[in-house]
Structure 1
Amino acid sequence: MKLELLITRDAWQTQVAVLEDGLLVEFQQEPRHLDGLVGNLYLGRVSRVLPGMESAFVDVGLDRDGFLYEGDMGPLPDLADADGIEGKFRNPSIRDLKEGSGILVQVTKEPMGAKGARLSTQISLPGSYVIYLPFMEHVGVSRKISGGERARLKEIVRRLKARVSGGFIIRTAAEGVAEEDLALEMQGLLDQWALIRLRGQRAEPPAVLHQEADLVARLIREVLLRADGEVLTDDAEAAEQARDLLSSMGHPREKVHLWPGKPGSLFEHFRIQEEIDKALRARVWLRSGGCIVIQSTEALVAIDVNSGRFTGKRSLEETAFAINMEAVDEIVRQIRLRGLGGILVIDFIDMTKKAHREALFARLREALERDRAKSRILNISEFGLVEMTRKRSRRNLERVMTGVCPCCEGRGRLPAPWRTAQMIAETLSGRHAPKKAVVTASQEVVRFIEENRDRYAFPSGISFEAAETPRLSHFTIRPAS
């Protein structure tokens, strides 16, 4: 698989696109003046405790209070304790929190809509090869590392951490890494944690204790180091930043290339905006002529697979199997590109053969292996549905790139012209309605009234005029002069 990171910058923002074999699978952007929030550590102030909801709201200095759920709580450290990491911990419970008290929290999900950031007291500090967990005595290894290499890495980390508290998770990128490099990064994370504790002892809540790396550094660490890939950018500063980062981790600086074209032409050359526009539509067409329809609701994301224009040649079962198998890769790509999370339900075309259903499920699991986000999928149900969950840590593409329609308020539906015409008729039939008046309404409503005048007994003194209105259902009535 060929992996490419495309980075472009302008005066307002940094944009990064991830391509796998030339296909856009991920897109993120970050304003130049505002770094991402996920991973940031705050000394917050508990603003409200809700025992009945097993949760609390915490002021971390953002526009809205963050949300801390009891299931996201780990040991509560006493940052004022100067004894190092061996501070005083308590078993986690929302009832232990007191309104107005300080608490160390980490952002795990960006604010979305009217919801504040999701918070956790299970602190983690990510590096390129390992993740440091200050409050857990545990050594874990990525599931993608197996055999003797898995045992080697686990033994090295266990030996290196014997003298310190806390745990480590060994990342996929650590495969084949020398012990000296692991030791260097582990010590760096320990030093970073010591600095965070020192800031926490001196700060008054709410305060930022640690900011996660910027978008470029995060994606190089999270994406590029998981697989062998290259960076292509049209910004000299971003190119130098990427080279320094890769060099510090023992990777060749030659992996970073400066785009030779004119500024702003990098995304245009790879048709990134064209792919983003397609990802904002509900319907996605497959090469065979079949299609996928993706619709997000408050509760879940529904994904429907349709045969569309594809009719097949052999049988209905073979046609359904062919479309479903083709749809799997595109569904996973769209999930990653759109940043969809939470509960997802995929409605595949019904298949009767057990072998086909098993092959489809195996293909879906294989495709999801390339996804960085954690997911869990259930077997195909008798109705041909696949239910899955996917961890949501950032705003999805639709929320980033679009806003709520002022006409339909996000419903995607408008009152029918006949309904607005009926409302006008009811208003004009009131006791205090003028006998002579001018009604201003949308062009669609006026056209409907003119074509159906025999259905409405409007007085002869009533005239209509079409105009641009805030909403298609909006109308005004003013006395005629």
Structure 2
Amino acid sequence: MNKELIINSSGEGVELALLEDKKLVELHFERGQGQFAVGDIYLGKVKKLMPGLNAVFVDVGYEKDAFLHYTDLSPYLRSLLKFTKSSIEDTANWGDDFGRFKNEAEILKSGKITEVFTGKPEILVQVLKEPISSKGPRLSCEISLPGRFVVMTPFNDVVAISRKIHSAEERKRLQRIVESIKPKNFGVIVRTAAEGKNTAELHTDLLELEKMWKGIQKNLKGAKPPQMIMSEQDKTTSILRDMLNDSFQKVVVNDKALLGVARDYISKVSPGQEDIVTLHSNGQPIFDTFGVSKQVKAAFGKTVNLNSGAYLIIEHTEALHVIDVNSGTRSPEAGQEANALATNLEAAQEIVRQMRLRDLGGIIIIDFIDMKLAENRKQLHDAVEQLMVNDRARHTVLPISKFGLMQITRQRLRPEINISTAEVCPTCKGTGKIGPSILLADDIEKDLKYVVSQGLRSLKLYVHPIVEAYLTKGTFFKPSIAKKWEKEHKTKLKIVVDNNSPITEYNFYDAQTDDLIKL
């Protein structure tokens, strides 16, 4: 599989498109100085204890207090509070050697929030989920520092190996290496990317993360909450960190500064691969050149068409996402069951792509076309699981139920990407409400009577084109409504089309002076 990262830098920020075999699978936005990204570490202050929720609200500088649940506190909470306080007051007795730090007793996994927090302490927290809708960020006290091959966690000495590394011998080799080189008082999670790497590469990664932890301690000195202590890497380097491998063929950027950032990062983590980063400078928009813009227009929207003529309907509710698979037209020669399986397998590829592209999270219900044979349903389930192997978000795929539905849960860390593909209604301006009255002609005539009573006898009435047609339509035997008004109210009335006017709005003007008449 060939992977390409296309980076578009503009005045509004940075857009990143990840292509797999020329097909758009992920789209990321980094707008200006965006705050509260997943992985950012803040010094916050507990503002309110919520025993009923077994949680606290923490001020980290967002307009709404962030949410910290007991289950996200980390067993080493007391050690974290001690580290935070000592670092702020610059009374750390372990100096630069974190291995000399003495841990406090662990907290209970099933404890109460009121048992671990007294008063409103200052606390080091990490953003677990970005602000979504009306909710503030969700926080965690289980601080983790991600590198390319390992993730480092302070206050413990546990070494864990990614479950995606299946070889027992390789797991033992990595366990042995990491246990021999890791710093004391740090736990390590070995990532899938570490498979096959040598001791020197893993050690370099660990040293970088240990240096990052020392930087956090330094930044805490004299800090006042709310304050950012360490920012997650920008999207460009974080995507390269998480996804760079031998299948990455190309990184194309349209900004010289980003070109330098990407090359510098790749030179550190994968020397010799710097040449895959190139500068786009042919004069055309970079997303147009690589077909990203066209794919975005085709992929977002309620309806997504497939090559065979089948299509998907994707809808979002408050509780879940619903995807309906429709067959369109299929050859009758193959038979209903074969057609259903072929359509479902094709739809599965697009659904997995859409989940990554839009970053759909939470509960996802898929209504595939009904299949009678159990082996076909199992084949479809296995295909979806295999297609989701490259999805970095944690997920669970359940077998198709007796109602013909597949249920998927997928981790959501940031707001769903939802690009508008429709025009705003000129009448309601996108609110979905039209008012104040459906009896528009009666309202206009009532205002006309008032204007005439003020002594004005020559008027212009500006209205929506549909209203103009309704008021001026008449015959030789049946005069128009506008003509009736002129005769009844003894005034001269000219109806003027206003293409920018909502259908329920109108304005009277003095025909002599062209002044707007305020009602």
TM-score normalised by length of structure 1: 0.85
Which residue of 77, 87, 94 maps to 2:113? 94
Which residue of 178, 183, 195 maps to 1:175? 195
Cα distance in 1 for residues equivalent to 2:57 and 2:423: 27
Unaligned runs of 5+ residues in structure 2 are 87-91, 452-459, 511-516
- Could you tell me how far 1:53 is from its partner in structure 2? 2.2
8 A Cα contact 1:234 1:263, kept in partner: no
Aligned length: 471
- Could you tell me how far 1:296 is from its partner in structure 2? 1.7
The aligned residue for residue 457 of structure 2 is: none
Which residue of 121, 138, 142 maps to 1:118? 138
Which residue of 342, 347, 352 maps to 2:367? 347
Distance 1:125 1:285, change over 3 A: same
User: 1:299 aligned to 2:304?
Assistant: no
Cα distance in 2 for residues equivalent to 1:90 and 1:407: 61
8 A Cα contact 1:43 1:103, kept in partner: yes
Moved more, 306-315 or 359-368: 306-315
8 A Cα contact 1:48 1:99, kept in partner: no
- Could you tell me how far 1:252 is from its partner in structure 2? 1.7
User: 1:387 aligned to 2:392?
Assistant: no
Aligned partner letter, 1:80: K
- Could you tell me how far 1:478 is from its partner in structure 2? 7.8
TM-score normalised by length of structure 2: 0.80
User: 1:187 aligned to 2:207?
Assistant: yes
- Could you tell me how far 1:475 is from its partner in structure 2? 4.3
Cα distance in 1 for residues equivalent to 2:396 and 2:439: 49
Moved more, 114-123 or 393-402: 393-402
> How do 1:30-49 residues align onto structure 2 when only pairs under 5 Å count?
30-34=30-34, 37-49=37-49
Aligned partner letter, 1:52: G
- Could you tell me how far 1:138 is from its partner in structure 2? 2.6
Aligned partner letter, 1:355: E
User: 1:156 aligned to 2:177?
Assistant: yes
Per-residue CA deviation, residues 149-171 of structure 1 (Å, 9 max, x unaligned), is: 2221122112223x511311111
Cα distance in 2 for residues equivalent to 1:205 and 1:403: 44
The aligned residue for residue 397 of structure 1 is: 417
Which residue of 80, 104, 123 maps to 2:85? 80
The aligned residue for residue 89 of structure 2 is: none
The aligned residue for residue 240 of structure 2 is: 220
Distance 1:99 1:65, change over 3 A: farther
SS in 1 for 2:52: helix
- Could you tell me how far 1:420 is from its partner in structure 2? 6.8
- Aligned-residue RMSD, C-alpha: 3.5
8 A Cα contact 2:262 2:277, kept in partner: no
Distance 1:90 1:151, change over 3 A: closer
SS in 2 for 1:53: coil
Distance 1:47 1:410, change over 3 A: farther
Aligned partner letter, 1:10: S
Cα distance in 2 for residues equivalent to 1:268 and 1:309: 32
Cα distance in 1 for residues equivalent to 2:195 and 2:422: 40
- Could you tell me how far 1:105 is from its partner in structure 2? 0.8
Moved more, 16-25 or 52-61: 52-61
SS in 1 for 2:418: helix
SS in 2 for 1:115: coil
Cα distance in 1 for residues equivalent to 2:64 and 2:166: 43
The aligned residue for residue 159 of structure 2 is: 139
8 A Cα contact 2:54 2:69, kept in partner: yes
Unaligned runs of 5+ residues in structure 1 are none
Larger radius of gyration: 2
Aligned partner letter, 1:45: K
Cα distance in 1 for residues equivalent to 2:443 and 2:118: 55
Cα distance in 2 for residues equivalent to 1:379 and 1:360: 9
Per-residue CA deviation, residues 59-111 of structure 1 (Å, 9 max, x unaligned), is: 11233322222232213212124254534355274323356421111112221
Moved more, 367-376 or 397-406: 397-406
Cα distance in 2 for residues equivalent to 1:10 and 1:425: 49
Aligned partner letter, 1:86: K
The aligned residue for residue 65 of structure 2 is: 65
SS in 2 for 1:398: coil
Aligned partner letter, 2:102: E
Cα distance in 2 for residues equivalent to 1:50 and 1:441: 55
Cα distance in 1 for residues equivalent to 2:179 and 2:439: 74
> How do 1:343-382 residues align onto structure 2 when only pairs under 5 Å count?
343-382=363-402
Cα distance in 2 for residues equivalent to 1:98 and 1:293: 51
Cα distance in 1 for residues equivalent to 2:341 and 2:362: 27
The aligned residue for residue 6 of structure 1 is: 6
- Could you tell me how far 1:301 is from its partner in structure 2? 1.1
User: 1:50 aligned to 2:50?
Assistant: yes
Moved more, 116-125 or 85-94: 85-94
The aligned residue for residue 288 of structure 1 is: 308
8 A Cα contact 1:441 1:469, kept in partner: no
SS in 2 for 1:52: coil
SS in 2 for 1:157: helix
Distance 1:49 1:442, change over 3 A: farther
8 A Cα contact 2:155 2:187, kept in partner: yes
Cα distance in 1 for residues equivalent to 2:36 and 2:353: 23
Aligned partner letter, 1:94: I
Cα distance in 1 for residues equivalent to 2:156 and 2:245: 25
Distance 1:28 1:400, change over 3 A: farther
Sequence identity (%): 33
- Could you tell me how far 1:47 is from its partner in structure 2? 2.1
8 A Cα contact 1:45 1:101, kept in partner: yes
Moved more, 382-391 or 76-85: 76-85
Aligned partner letter, 2:54: E
8 A Cα contact 1:347 1:384, kept in partner: yes
The aligned residue for residue 278 of structure 1 is: 298
Per-residue CA deviation, residues 30-74 of structure 1 (Å, 9 max, x unaligned), is: 134446621110010122222222332211123332222223221
8 A Cα contact 1:374 1:390, kept in partner: yes
User: 1:210 aligned to 2:230?
Assistant: yes
